[in-house]
Amino acid sequence: MPLPVGHTLAAYAICEGNRDRLRFFDKPWQTLLFFAVLANLPDIDFLPGFLLGNPNRFHHGFVHSLGAAVAVGLFGALYFRRRHGRFWPYFGLIAATYYSHLILDFFNQDMRAPYGVMLFWPLDSTYYMSPVALFASVHKSSDSSTFFQSLFTMHNFWVALRELLLMGPLAAGTYFYNKWRRSRSPRKSVTLRLAKVKYLRQRAEGAPVYVEVSETRKKLKPKR
């Protein structure tokens, strides 16, 4: 499995790429945190094994599957439908973010059975693994008492650095592309708040009228 470094960078790219399409939370950092949790959520299957003494016991089980992504997408979409009144756009993006974890795991060098991930469970219980490994295998202990300690090794440091080099350009590219796109797009219309709107009377017939809204200044044609 890739470390949270790769999964979180993938989450950032997805979040940044859809920031202008859907609203999740009021503050950007809350939305980014939500996406990061989603992209790393499949690895919660370490927890039951950890409690039983072997963290790897249930790893890459049904939690790493298409069915789990659909289930998480449904629950998330139901929540955001109550907040924003839309279902399917949220379902698709939440499920896709969760499923991105499986895609990265598919391209991982897996050294422990079961090899690969069940990409299409429950439709297909076959484990799939890419013949070309983009991400190196993470060294981790099968003993709960040494599990966290085993993650902090020089080998895993180089694994994290490799993930940064592979996924960093994707995250950065998404950020700069959106920044460039917004700079070229026309200014969006804003809702006029009566408390902040100031009309400057026409100085002469046919003179333009300026409407100030917060820090945005728009030029409108005078009404006839």
Same domain, 180 and 193: no
Same domain, 78 and 145: yes
| Overall domain count for the chain | 2
Same domain, 24 and 70: yes
Q: What share of the chain is helix, strand, coil (3-state, %, to 5)?
A: 55, 10, 40
Using CB atoms within 10 Å of the CB of residue 134, give its burial: 0 to 12 exposed, 13 to 18 middle, 19+ buried: middle
115 near 59, Cβ under 8 Å?
no
Same domain, 133 and 220: no
Same domain, 74 and 41: yes
Quote the pTM value. Answer: 0.81
Same domain, 224 and 169: no
Same domain, 147 and 51: yes
Which residues form the domain of 159? 4-184
Same domain, 35 and 122: yes
What pLDDT was estimated at residue 192?
Answer: 41
Of 106, 48, 96, nearest in space to 69 by CA = 96
For residues 43 and 33, what is the distance between their CA atoms, to the nearest angstrom? 16
What pLDDT was estimated at residue 114?
Answer: 83
What pLDDT was estimated at residue 207?
Answer: 53
Same domain, 25 and 74: yes
Same domain, 214 and 174: no
Same domain, 171 and 134: yes
**What's CA 33's distance to the chain center, in Å?**
8
What pLDDT was estimated at residue 150?
Answer: 95
Same domain, 197 and 179: no
**Cα dihedral 63, 65, 69, 71 sign:** negative
Q: What is the pLDDT along the chain (224 residues), one digit of tens a residue?
A: 789 999 999 999 999 999 888 999 999 999 999 999 999 999 999 999 999 999 999 999 999 999 999 999 999 999 999 999 999 999 999 999 999 999 999 999 988 888 999 999 999 999 999 999 999 999 999 999 999 999 999 999 999 999 999 999 999 999 999 989 888 865 554 444 444 444 445 555 555 555 555 444 444 555 44
What pLDDT was estimated at residue 111?
Answer: 83
What pLDDT was estimated at residue 112?
Answer: 82
